[in-house]
Amino acid sequence: MSGGSEFLNWQYNQNPAGKAVGYNAYFNGLLVAHYAVIPLRAMMFGEEAFGYLSINTLTDPDHQGQGLFTRLAESTYSDIKKIGGEFVVGVANENSVHGFTRKLGFQHVSLLETRFVIGFPSILKCDLDFESIWDSATVAWRLDNPTKSYKYRKKGDRALLFSNSNRFSSLIGEVPYKSLPNGLETLGRFSCMPKLWLGIAEGMSWAGTLYALVPSKLQPVQLNFIYRDLKGTRSLDPTSVRFLAMDFDAY
Give the pairing type, strands 122-123 and 204-205: antiparallel
Strands (DSSP E) contained in the chain are 21-27, 30-44, 47-59, 87-93, 107-111, 113-118, 122-123, 130-132, 150-155, 158-163, 169-176, 185-186, 195-201, 204-205, 210-213, 223-229, 241-244
Q: Is residue 181 within 8 Å of residue 140, measured between CB atoms? A: yes
State the pLDDT confidence band at 220, using cuts at 50, 70 and 90.
Answer: confident
What is the average pLDDT value for the chain, to the nearest integer? Answer: 91
Q: Average pLDDT of 212-240? A: 90
Q: Average pLDDT of 82-97? A: 95
Model confidence at 250: pLDDT above 80:
no
Helix, strand or coil, per DSSP, at residue 106:
coil
Listed in sequence order, the residues at least 6 apart from 105 whose beta carbon sits closer than 8 Å to its beta carbon are: 228
Q: Is residue 129 within 8 Å of residue 38, measured between CB atoms? A: no
Domain boundaries along the sequence of the chain: 5-111+218-247, 113-216
Lowest mean pLDDT among 18-32, 33-47, 149-163: 149-163
Neighbouring CB atoms inside 10 A of 11's CB total 22
CA–CA distances in Å: residue 111 to residues 5, 86, 217, 224, 229 = 31, 23, 12, 4, 19
Amino acid at 71: R
State the pLDDT confidence band at 59, using cuts at 50, 70 and 90.
Answer: very high
HSE at residue 226, side-chain half, CA atoms within 13 A, is: 26
Name the β-bridge partners of 49.
42
- Comparing C-alpha atoms, which of 29, 5, 224, 193 is closest to residue 117? 193
Name the β-bridge partners of 89.
53, 227
Residue 105 carries which DSSP code? -
Q: Average pLDDT of 32-44? A: 97
How many residues does the structure list for the chain?
251
Give the predicted TM-score (pTM) of the model.
Answer: 0.93
CATH of domain 5-111+218-247: 3.40.630.30
The pLDDT value given to residue 142: 97
